[in-house]
Amino acid sequence: MTAREPMSLSSAQAALRPTATRVDCKPVTDAADLIPRVIDLMNRNALRIPPYPAVAVRLRRVIARGDYGIGELERIAGEDQSLAATLLRYANSAVYRRVTPTTTLGAAIMRIGATEVARIALALSVGGFAIECGPLAAVRFRVWRQALVSALCCRALAYWRQADAEEAYVCGLLHDFGRVVAVAGFEDIIGRTHDKRVLSEACWADAAEQVHLKIGLITAQRWNLSPLLCSVIANHHTPERSGSYRAMVDIVGVADKLVEALDKEPHPNTSDLMKAAPLRIDEAEYMVTILSTVAASVSAIDETTAVPEFVAVPSSQVSRPPSALAPPYKPVELKVGLLRSSGNVACQGTYLSRDGIAFVGKIKIRENSMIRLAVETPKQPLDVWAVVARCEPEGDASRIEARLFAVAPELQAAWSQLFASVA
């Protein structure tokens, strides 16, 4: 049997059927009337889509060429002052916390490495659209954080499968960008119509899910993306239609399943990853070993792009439960250190759960960002990665709930013992 040729961008768009309103899920029904309005914006070419970052593209091309010097990369990156500044911050982020701070762009590029600079430049440039303030900012930023995790998982898995790791990174980063654009479209509509509805994060995300393929393909067309990327965007839910690009589409599909699993399971092991996604045991074992590196990279980007005095938008239209952590909760008095490149922040733990910890500190952090914590215990500090699930004002400080992210196997038992020891 001859493998089917991958779908072209135009044929992929034609194959996408009009979105039907789902009537079996009340939260999505509550946002269903916005879906045709977003599609109308798309059809009229009025949907807000950010420009593809020209400087990031040039960096990738020069690095792929192989014949370059640090001076050339510095000149290209320096054309975008915002990018240059964020690359400097990244070079001084927690990823390099034991290294002397650098103050020049050239030194920053040397520290980060050329290939990593190209990846970071793309993530920082495209990600700026995802981290804008707005009534649905929490939804957009969660989608973007998932895209960063997906990109890093794709890169690692492609390396293990001897595929093009850099192409895999870009595919993981951009294949679901239609979700971000869709949520931004919802924001534009509710802003113009003074629509004050408040829905859950899951509801808004599910509504964006229904149109993200259409919008993703329009974005790919606007950005003039490669046939490989177009196929990944069009077919990551239907890999059997991806033809000669099947290997890369499969990698992206596995990464999506891993991202979903990591959002649910704070202590993943090899067995958990194999249940979540079609992985061989050697692949699952490898992915477990790199999850802390994934968290560190996402954290560095989050810290680099974070608004120093970020405050939750007062008019946020995302409803939230009383707590983002899973019960039961146990009150504690533990010292918690928030480890940041700009200086560690001393916080006070207030309650503990099996999947995270709440603490109070004089710092404001964007929700859904990745952070590193040092939690004091009677035996030794526990150094863990976590996702900020909640950040709310409490007096002159903030109350923060952080869900554990991919806790290493050697720390899982220690966290469980800590939780069990609290009366």
Position 307 scores a pLDDT of: 55
Q: What is the pLDDT of residues 245-284, one digit of tens each?
A: 999 999 999 999 999 999 999 999 999 999 999 999 999 9
Same domain, 275 and 194: yes
On whether residue 25 sits in a domain, the answer given is yes
Report angle CA 345, 348, 351 to the nearest 5 degrees: 135
On whether residue 248 sits in a domain, the answer given is yes
pLDDT at 17 > cutoff 80: no
Same domain, 37 and 72: yes
CB 180 within 8 Å of CB 158: no
**Among 305, 335, 370, residue at a domain's last position:** 305
Mean of all residue pLDDT scores within the chain: 88
pLDDT at 149 > cutoff 60: yes
Report angle CA 240, 29, 12 to the nearest 5 degrees: 25
- Residue 53 pLDDT grade (very low, low, confident, very high; cuts 50, 70, 90): confident
On whether residue 282 sits in a domain, the answer given is yes
Domain limits at 271?
9-305
On whether residue 1 sits in a domain, the answer given is no
Same domain, 229 and 334: no
CB 225 within 8 Å of CB 174: yes
Q: How many whole angstroms separate alpha carbon 183 and alpha carbon 180?
A: 5
On whether residue 316 sits in a domain, the answer given is no
Same domain, 132 and 81: yes
Same domain, 81 and 33: yes
- Residue 27 pLDDT grade (very low, low, confident, very high; cuts 50, 70, 90): very low
**Among 273, 305, 337, residue at a domain's last position:** 305
Position 194 scores a pLDDT of: 93
CB 73 within 8 Å of CB 117: yes
Same domain, 367 and 269: no
Beta bridge partners of 403: 356, 387
On whether residue 313 sits in a domain, the answer given is no
Q: Dump the DSSP string for 282-296.
A: HHHHHHHHHHHHHHH
Residues 6+ apart with CB under 8 A from 40: none
- Residue 24 pLDDT grade (very low, low, confident, very high; cuts 50, 70, 90): very low
Q: 107-121, 168-182, 302-316, 385-399: lowest mean pLDDT where? A: 302-316
Q: What is the pLDDT of residues 59-72, one digit of tens each?
A: 988 988 888 899 99
In Å, what is the CA distance from 190 to each residue of 30, 31, 187, 195, 317? 13, 11, 5, 5, 10
Q: How many whole angstroms separate alpha carbon 131 and alpha carbon 144?
A: 8
- Residue 52 pLDDT grade (very low, low, confident, very high; cuts 50, 70, 90): confident
CATH number at residue 354: 2.40.10.220
Q: What is the pLDDT of residues 157-207, one digit of tens each?
A: 999 999 999 999 999 999 999 999 999 999 999 999 999 999 999 999 999
Q: What is the rounded average pLDDT of the residues 363-378?
A: 91
Same domain, 232 and 133: yes
Could you tell me the sign of the dihedral formed by the alpha carbons of 139, 136, 307, 90, in that order?
Answer: positive
On whether residue 132 sits in a domain, the answer given is yes
- Residue 98 pLDDT grade (very low, low, confident, very high; cuts 50, 70, 90): low
Same domain, 161 and 210: yes
Same domain, 331 and 279: no
- Residue 5 pLDDT grade (very low, low, confident, very high; cuts 50, 70, 90): very low
pLDDT at 312 > cutoff 60: no
- Residue 94 pLDDT grade (very low, low, confident, very high; cuts 50, 70, 90): low
Question: pTM higher than 0.95 for the full model?
Answer: no
Per the structure, how many domains does the chain have? 2
Work out the number of other CB atoms within 10 angstroms of the CB of residue 219. Answer: 22
Same domain, 169 and 299: yes
On whether residue 3 sits in a domain, the answer given is no
* Neighbour-count burial of 335, counting CB atoms closer than 10 A to its CB (0-12 exposed, 13-18 middle, 19+ buried): middle
Same domain, 139 and 233: yes
Same domain, 273 and 336: no
Q: How many whole angstroms separate alpha carbon 51 and alpha carbon 264?
A: 33
CATH number at residue 28: 1.10.3210.10
